[in-house]
Structure 1
Amino acid sequence: MNKIPVGIIGVSGYTGLELIKILLNHPVFEINYVANSQGEQYLCDIHPALKGVFDLKIQKANPKEASKKCSLVFLALPHKNAMSFAKELLACGVKVVDLSADYRLEQKNYESHYATLHTDTQNLSKAVYGLVEYTREKIKKASLVANPGCYPTATLLGLIPFLPYLENSSIFVDAKSGVSGAGKQLTQNTHYPTINENIFSYSPFQHRHQIEIEEKCAILGNKPVKVNFVPHLVPFTQGMLVSIFATLKQTIDPLEILKKCYENEAFIRIRDIPADVHSVRGSNFCDIFAKCRGKDIYINTAIDNLLRGASSQGVVNANLMCHLDENLSIPKIG
């Protein structure tokens, strides 16, 4: 099979490194272009683990140059930055998997929670939300896929199967993420003396991923809901654990519903005991557990925030966009 040249713009962060690790083992995708805002370095200068393994020179990000070398580009950029790159790449006929928030939300929700003005509304209307289990057929036809956020991925995969059975009452989501979810930039919250042997919530009821969860429940699950979302930072590097609490209309067998919903999904595992972070770390799996007490339901999911919540999910989307086996080179174990 002919190689497909791909690039990564925003290669300096944790998700950029994870993308490289996956793509280096991919039998079809070939990394031809890596870039960040500065360029003029080699990958091992930023990611020492790649020394002697893959040491491509990093370019200063330029969408026109990327389009000359790539058929598909992964954008691992902050929100507001990605849309200008995506717009130029798409105009040059290059497919884009965007790992930022720039194309995940409807315009009104994006402009209310991320930026006052979306500068690429034409492509925003064409973007496909890349939650594979629910948008697979659309992804296959897409030129632009918006990779879901890590918190929404873990929450939606657990919540959507139960939406038809839920009362029209508030849903509460307690989510815990490893420190890598905050990115490489040092902050007071991620400073070692703050996070070590500590756990705390941040942005309760105000986190930007709350609107993403609500919007996608309405679109993918066909049920508008009110979600009260509270994220927490916990003192490990990688992984995410989500607990969802809701009220049912009737008594159900939650594990049977999950098994039926995901019976043909390679990277969803239904657990008989609560999910845990160690079991999914380094993989694309989402583990899901659920239990009822009368009409109260508890749903529990675990993912690797850097992989299923970002990079490996992005490669699954790219595989589908390029009409390859969707699970080609996707990690099953760390």
Structure 2
Amino acid sequence: MNISIIGATGYSGVELIRLLHHHPYAKVTSLFASSQAGKEMTEVYPHLMNIAQYPLEEIDINATAEWVFIATPSGISSKLVPSLLEAGRKVIDLSGDFRLPAETYETWYGKTTADSSYLQQAVYGLPEWFKEQIQQAQLIANPGCYPTAAALGLAPAMPYIDPKSIIIDAKSGVSGAGRAASLATHYGEVNENLAAYKVAKHQHTPEIEQTLNRLYQQDPIISFTPHLVPMTRGILCTMYATITEDVNFQELYQSAYEGKPFVRLRPQGSHPKTKEVYGSNYCDIALHVDKRTNRLIILSVIDNVVKGAAGQAIQNMNIMAGLEETTGLTFSPVYP
């Protein structure tokens, strides 16, 4: 399986290179990054010396391989994907351009997206819940990092909680903001600091609601507040919802995620940590039932660059190709 990566110099792009380097059936054959075209990949990321000795090229649809990963900022893939599909490529888009209906996308992202005919071809790539659709897809809309942690954490419980009561308190490392420099991710701003951002207006809000609604048609309304934490990788979502039916949530989750290799249900009442999934494709989930308030409290942790981006993209590629979804992804988390 020959692979091209468009947007190879971002954090998701370079993580794709790291993970695909160990994939037994995949071979990266070309890297595209218009902003740094003409350089060698090792000029941008010296740690890839003798691992990824590739030139960075201007984007050229005709020069792409059979499989194309797009790891660009939002607003770019919508212009590239139509031509890639017409050329017969299989595309996995890590940006948000194909995750939402056009009107919703334009409201939350402030940009225009692709024609509706292409949006309708996109399959939302959350493998634990949409594996059958992914198997038949030519275009995957890879989920966002926060929606991955939130949806995996909430989905099994939805029939037994009030869908209008959900509160998501999410915390992420700075790699989620990408590699481009900004005041918000400047060392002097992030170090020894904890800050909420995009309160009540983060673009992943409708994606989380849409994913949960696809599963249960409950029209959930969530309150979602993300926070920036002074660490490189990791997302912790702490989620609260009012219980409407008394069930054994631990058994419910065990049943829902049986045979789902990248979701690890921790013992009830435990406290999964971001370091325990660091560098891996795992999502660790723990459940707490607060009988005093009649609320279910769900803790969900992922590595935002792996399960929240590149690792999940490769998991989707594996499913599309008819491989075991774990192929090339069975490494343990990095600890400490």
Residue 226 of structure 2: which of 231, 241, 254 is its match? 231
Give the partner amino acid of 1:206: K
Residue 118 of structure 1: which of 113, 117, 122 is its match? 113
- Is the CA contact 2:7–2:32 (under 8 Å) kept in the aligned structure 1? yes
Does 1:163 pair with 2:158? yes
Question: Displacement, 1:331?
Answer: 4.2
Distance 1:116 1:57 in 2: 31
Matched position secondary structure for 2:62: helix
Aligned to 1:64: 62
- Is the CA contact 2:163–2:218 (under 8 Å) kept in the aligned structure 1? no
Does 1:20 pair with 2:17? yes
Aligned to 1:274: 271
- Is the CA contact 1:22–1:331 (under 8 Å) kept in the aligned structure 2? no
Question: Displacement, 1:255?
Answer: 1.4
Aligned to 2:89: 94
Aligned to 2:38: 40
Distance 1:160 1:27 in 2: 32
Question: Displacement, 1:276?
Answer: 0.6
Give the partner amino acid of 1:208: Q
Q: What's the Cα RMSD here?
A: 1.1
Aligned to 2:183: 188
Aligned to 1:128: 123
Distance 2:309 2:143 in 1: 7
Aligned to 1:303: 302
Question: Displacement, 1:168?
Answer: 4.4
Distance 2:163 2:98 in 1: 28
Aligned to 1:315: 314
Give the partner amino acid of 1:11: A
Distance 1:314 1:324 in 2: 14
- Is the CA contact 1:287–1:302 (under 8 Å) kept in the aligned structure 2? yes
TM-score (norm 2): 0.95
Identity %: 37
Aligned to 2:281: 284
- Is the CA contact 1:64–1:88 (under 8 Å) kept in the aligned structure 2? no
Residue 73 of structure 2: which of 68, 78, 86 is its match? 78
In structure 2, relative to structure 1, the CA distance for the partners of 1:261 and 1:187 (3 Å cut) is: same
Question: Displacement, 1:221?
Answer: 3.2
Write the deviation string for residues 99-147 of structure 1: whole angstroms up to 9, x where unpaired. 0000011222112212453233211011000000111011010000000
Question: Displacement, 1:211?
Answer: 0.8
Does 1:152 pair with 2:147? yes
Question: Displacement, 1:324?
Answer: 1.5
TM-score (norm 1): 0.96
Residue 173 of structure 1: which of 147, 152, 168 is its match? 168
Distance 1:332 1:221 in 2: 33
Distance 1:129 1:192 in 2: 35
Give the partner amino acid of 1:276: K
Write the deviation string for residues 249-300 of structure 1: whole angstroms up to 9, x where unpaired. 1222221111111011111101121111011001000000011122211000
- The number of aligned residues is 328
Distance 1:277 1:168 in 2: 26
Give the partner amino acid of 1:76: A
Give the partner amino acid of 1:278: K
Matched position secondary structure for 2:274: coil
Distance 2:19 2:152 in 1: 23
Aligned to 2:241: 246
Question: Displacement, 1:42?
Answer: 0.8
Give the partner amino acid of 2:325: E
Question: Displacement, 1:57?
Answer: 0.9
List alignment gaps of at least 5 residues for structure 2. none
In structure 2, relative to structure 1, the CA distance for the partners of 1:116 and 1:51 (3 Å cut) is: closer
Question: Displacement, 1:216?
Answer: 1.1
List alignment gaps of at least 5 residues for structure 1. none
Give the partner amino acid of 2:227: H
- Is the CA contact 2:108–2:201 (under 8 Å) kept in the aligned structure 1? no
Matched position secondary structure for 1:189: helix
- Is the CA contact 2:75–2:112 (under 8 Å) kept in the aligned structure 1? no
Aligned to 1:31: 28
Give the partner amino acid of 2:46: P
